[in-house]
Amino acid sequence: MDLLANLGLGFDAAFTVANLGYCFVGVTLGTLIGVLPGLGPVATIAMLLPITYGLQPLSALIMLAGIYYGAQYGGSTSAILVNLPGESSSVVTCLDGYAMARKGRAGAALGVAALGSFFAGTVATVAIAVLAAPLSALALKFGPAEYFSLMVLGLVAAIVLANGSLIKAIAMTVLGLLLGLVGTDVNSGAERFSFGIPELSDGFGFVVVSMGLFGIAEIIANLEKGERRDIFATTVGGVWPSRDDFRATWKPVLRGTFLGSLLGVLPGGGAILSSFAAYTLEKKLAKDPSRFGQGAIEGVAAPESANNAGAQTSFIPLLTLGIPPNAVMALMVGAMMIHGIVPGPQVMTERPELFWGLIASMWIGNGLLVLLNLPLIGLWVRLLKVPYRLLYPAILLFCCVGVYSVNSSALEVAFTVAFGLLGYLFIKLRCEPAPLLLGFVLGPLMEENLRRALLLARGDATVFFTRPLSLGLLLATAALVVILVLPNVRRTRDVAFQED
């Protein structure tokens, strides 16, 4: 009954004209940036963070969340029609989705992707609603030692699950932790690494770092790419799958939903890992694996269901523990802090209308996405023909205006450009910036909880090992480190990195 009462509170909060409007804006923008190759949800949310200053906290979170899971829907459209993933989690959809389009079955592929995504998003939102209360109750038992150990586990897990070189993933995480040290020490009041620059007395702004690394860097990198887009299917035809299609895809959709819901909770996992794992699982279970890559509809249904489920359940550690499992959730932490909300289990008790309103908005958003994706396929096809050279000047101007509007500081705009150039360098060096952002967000929180735990224990460092929950989290971290250094795991990562 408590769950139903809480959901009722959430729907009351979400079903206002303003919040419904921002939900619609969020999922529409998410679909749009998912359809257009080159921009992803991380860059878009980073660009839109300054706008959230003038919004109510719930409205801001509803809009940003809609952008994230909306991009998972939109990414399948360009993957199927153009063979270009509009969003990184839609990479595997290209394999069979584009092959279906070449066989004249683009409509069926798009329909299965949209309906599978809707089902997975709905089920994953139920999982969030059911698990939120018990996990928050568990999190209330956490002290500073447990939070420190949990954040260490999160960073190590992000390194384990990051793409590419292990050394580079570690280096990016450490660099993020170092950037988080810039600013005023909370205990002594002394400035650290500010070099006498007044704007750095509070450290680098979250908007500055995120917009530079993900927004401007992506724009520079996209300018290098060719603009040739072969849209194979300009007329899609019927998007409602046939009875045979439903019969072939209902099991892959269920498996993808289950797998994505589990992997979405993991730090560094989310939508990308979920879609790859679901595709691999379907290929292994198939009676004829050779069909995959040739237009197997299961190769569209499973990953599209998994990436949406993973996108939704990645909110669980954010809402219940205050720990961001991926770069998008780190941006959501930034949006909450902008409004003076400390992420964690206390949000459920202190701001229940915000907590349950966000969950309720996900059901509303998933319904809106089906309405947007199926009837408006023709519009998305036309948008795919817009040259990127016409888009990037407006995006760049929007970035600079947004950063300047936060503190009216021209120097922060310069810092954003510098981080953009640094992000472009990372792209050229094939260093994934997501671990850096996680380190930047979690670093100050780790330091604060480390100091608080040691102060309460009067300098006794064994407090991290004598408290059962903290010890369990550290043992899980040690297990991940052991997995990480296993020769076959490192060899697999190196091979995947070289082939990328």
Least confident of 163-167, 270-274, 309-313: 270-274
pLDDT digits (tens, 9 = 90+) for 243-252: 888 888 888 9
pLDDT at 59: 92
pLDDT above 70: percentage of residues in the chain: 86
- Dump the DSSP string for 439-470: HHHHHHHHHHHHHHHHHHTTT-TTHHHHSHHH
pLDDT at 20: 92
The owner of tokens 């910036």 is 433
pLDDT digits (tens, 9 = 90+) for 354-407: 889 999 999 898 888 888 777 776 676 676 666 667 777 877 887 787 778 777
Name the helix (H) or strand (E) containing 192. strand 191-192
pLDDT at 497: 46
The token pair that represents 446 in the structure block: 């780790």
Computed over every residue of the chain, the mean pLDDT equals 80
pLDDT band at 207 (very low <50, low <70, confident <90, very high): confident
Its pTM stands at 0.75
Cβ atoms 230, 83 nearer than 8 A: yes
Which residues lie closer than 8 Å to 60 by C-beta, 6 or more apart?
Answer: 22, 52, 335, 338, 339
Least confident of 171-175, 201-205, 272-276: 272-276
pLDDT band at 341 (very low <50, low <70, confident <90, very high): confident
When comparing pLDDT for 27 and 223, which is higher?
Answer: 27
pLDDT at 422: 92
Cβ atoms 255, 302 nearer than 8 A: yes
Position 7 pLDDT exceeds 90: no
What is the DSSP code (8-state) at residue 212? I
pLDDT digits (tens, 9 = 90+) for 55-94: 888 999 999 998 888 887 777 777 787 766 666 667 778 8
Least confident of 165-169, 297-301, 355-359: 165-169
pLDDT at 63: 92
pLDDT digits (tens, 9 = 90+) for 407-446: 778 888 899 899 989 989 998 888 888 788 888 888 888 8
Position 336 pLDDT exceeds 80: yes
pLDDT at 402: 73
pLDDT at 103: 80
When comparing pLDDT for 438 and 124, which is higher?
Answer: 124
pLDDT at 3: 78
What is the DSSP code (8-state) at residue 141? T
pLDDT band at 39 (very low <50, low <70, confident <90, very high): low
pLDDT band at 315 (very low <50, low <70, confident <90, very high): confident
Position 177 pLDDT exceeds 80: yes
Instruction: Please compute Rg for the chain using Cα positions.
Output: 22
Angle between helices 144-161 and 166-180 (to 10 degrees): 140
Position 106 pLDDT exceeds 70: yes
What is the DSSP code (8-state) at residue 227? -
pLDDT digits (tens, 9 = 90+) for 215-232: 788 778 877 765 555 555
Position 22 pLDDT exceeds 90: yes
Cβ atoms 49, 92 nearer than 8 A: no
